[in-house]
Amino acid sequence: MPAASPFRSAAATDTGMLREHNEDRYFIDAARGVFLVVDGVGGHAAGELAAQTAVEAIRETFAADGQAAETRVRAAIAAANNRIFHLAAGDAARKGMACVLTLAVVEDGRITVGHVGDSRLYLIWNGAIRKLTSDHSPVGQDEDAGELTEEQAMRHPRRNEVYRDVGTRPRQAEDAGFIEIRTCRFHRDAAILLCSDGLTDHLSSGLVREIVERYDGDAERVANELVEAANGAGGRDNITALFVAGPEFRGRSAITRPRASTTLRLPDLARVINNSASFTDTFPPATALRSPRRMMSPTLSSSARPMAPLGWNLA
Identify whether 174 is part of a domain: yes
Q: What is the pLDDT of residues 235-245, one digit of tens each?
A: 999 999 999 99
Q: What is the pLDDT of residues 72-81, one digit of tens each?
A: 999 999 999 9
Burial class (CB in 10 A: 0-12, 13-18, 19+), 65: exposed
Identify whether 105 is part of a domain: yes
Q: What is the pLDDT of residues 33-79, one digit of tens each?
A: 999 999 998 776 799 999 999 999 999 999 987 899 999 999 999 99
pTM metric for this prediction: 0.81
Identify whether 182 is part of a domain: yes
CA distance 310 to 215: 24
Beta pairing partners, 193: 122, 243
User: What CATH number does residue 139 fall under?
Assistant: 3.60.40.10
Q: Could you list the residue range(s) of the whole structural domain that residue 215 is in?
A: 19-297
Residue 185 · residue 281 · CB < 8 Å: yes
Identify whether 1 is part of a domain: no
Q: Give the total number of structural domains in the chain.
A: 1
Local structure of 311: helix, strand or coil: strand
Burial class (CB in 10 A: 0-12, 13-18, 19+), 180: middle
CA distance 20 to 293: 18
Identify whether 307 is part of a domain: no
Identify whether 308 is part of a domain: no
Identify whether 74 is part of a domain: yes
Between 219-232 and 205-212, two packed helices, what is the crossing angle to 10 degrees?
A: 140
Residue 254's pLDDT is what? 66
Which residues, at least 6 apart from 90, have a Cβ–Cβ distance to it below 8 Å?
none
Identify whether 314 is part of a domain: no
